[in-house]
Amino acid sequence: MIKVGILGAAGYTGGELIRVLLGHPEVEIVFANSESNAGNPVSDVHEGLVGETDLRFTDAMPFDQVDVVFFCFGHGKSEAFLKEHEIPGHVKIIDLAQDFRIAGDHDYVYGLPETHRDAIRSARHLANPGCFATCIQLAILPTLKAGILSGDIHVNGITGSTGAGQKPGATTHFSWRNDNISVYKTFTHQHLLEINQTVQELCPGYQGRVLFVPQRGCFARGIFVTAYAKCDTPLEEVQQIYADYYRDAAFTHVVGKSPDLKQVVNTNKAVVYVEKHDDLLLMISCIDNLLKGAVGQAVQNMNLMFGLDEKTGLQLKASAF
C-alpha cells in the first residue's frame, strides 16, 4: 500500500483528493493535515464524505510514516512551507500549487502525463499542472508538435467557481456568481507561463502568441476551452495527428463531434475535438477542473511515480444528466 499524507486537506482540492483516494485500492491515507480543523471529522468539512470515512483532521505531520505527500496549499505557500519544514528524502512530493511548475533551480518535474510521462515515472518531486493550463495544452499541443499552426493562437476558456478555492470572495459567492459571467486576467493569466514553457518544448522557436481570455462561469466545476489559429493542413490530416498524439493517453479522448462539459465533470477525462473553417482550425477541449485539472491528474501522476496503471482509482462516472 502507498501511504499518503495530505497538507491543506480542508480545501476543495484536499477534500476531492480524500474522496478519490478513499476509493484507490493501493492507498492508505495516513494523515490529513489542517491546523484549523485538527481533531474534527473530515466529513464535518467535506460533507459529501459522510459515511465514507472515520478519518479526522490532524495538526501533526508524521512525514516519516508516509511514502508521498500531497501539497494542497494555495499558490505561493509550498515553497515557503519547504523552507520551514524538512521532509525526508525518501518521501515523494506532489505539489498542486504553481510554485514549481516553471523550470528553475529545483528538481520538480512538470506533471502533464500526455507530454512528460517518462519523466514523471522517475520523478521524486512533481509539480501538478494548473487547471486552465491542462485544458488549453491538451487542446493545442498536437498541432504544435506537428508544426501545422501559424500566427497567434486565440483561446477562450470558462471555468467553474471551485477553481477559485473554498474561501468565499467577492467574485465567488453564490449571489454574485449565479446567473452571471465575467472576464478576468485577460491575456495575463498565470497559467500562460507554464503553457508557453511547454509550447517552446514541443515547438522550439514558435513565434505565435497564446492569447487567452479567461471567464468565470455560473457553475461549480468544469472548464470548457475553445481555441483557434491559422492552419493550412486538411481536416482529415489534423484529425489523424490528434488521434496519433493521444493514442496512448489514458484519459484524453479525441471525439468526432463537438463535446459537452457534462461528458467530463466528475471524471479524470479530457475530451478534445477539432474542426476546420477555411484556413482556421478550431480546437475544443473540456475537463473537470478539480479532477483532470487538479486532484485526478495528481493521482494519475502518483500512479505513474509508483509504477501503477495510470487509471488505478480513477474510474469515475461523468455527471452526464
What cell does 133 get?
Answer: 493550463
Torsion from C-alpha of 122, 126, 132, 135, nearest 10 degrees: 10
172 vs 316: CA distance, rounded Å? 27
DSSP for 206-221 reads ----EEEEEEE-SSSS
Choosing from 131, 203, 231, 286, the catalytic residue is 131
308 vs 171: CA distance, rounded Å? 40
- Give the H/E segment covering residue 150: strand 150-159
Count how many residues are written for the chain: 321
Question: Which candidate, 170, 169, 163, places its Cα nearest to that of 219?
Answer: 163
What cell does 128 get?
Answer: 501538478
309 vs 296: CA distance, rounded Å? 14
User: How far is C-alpha 177 from the chain's CA centre?
Assistant: 22
Backbone phi and psi for residue 98, each to the nearest 5 degrees, phi listed first:
-95, 5
Give yes or no: 131 in active site.
yes
Strands 182-183 and 280-287: unpaired
List, in order, residues 6 or more apart from 162 with CB less than 8 Å away.
12, 220, 221, 289, 290
Across 194-224, b (16+ Cβ under 10 Å) vs e yields bbeebbeebbeebebebebebebbebebbbb
Beta bridge partners of 61: none
What cell does 253 get?
Answer: 479522448
Active site residues: 131
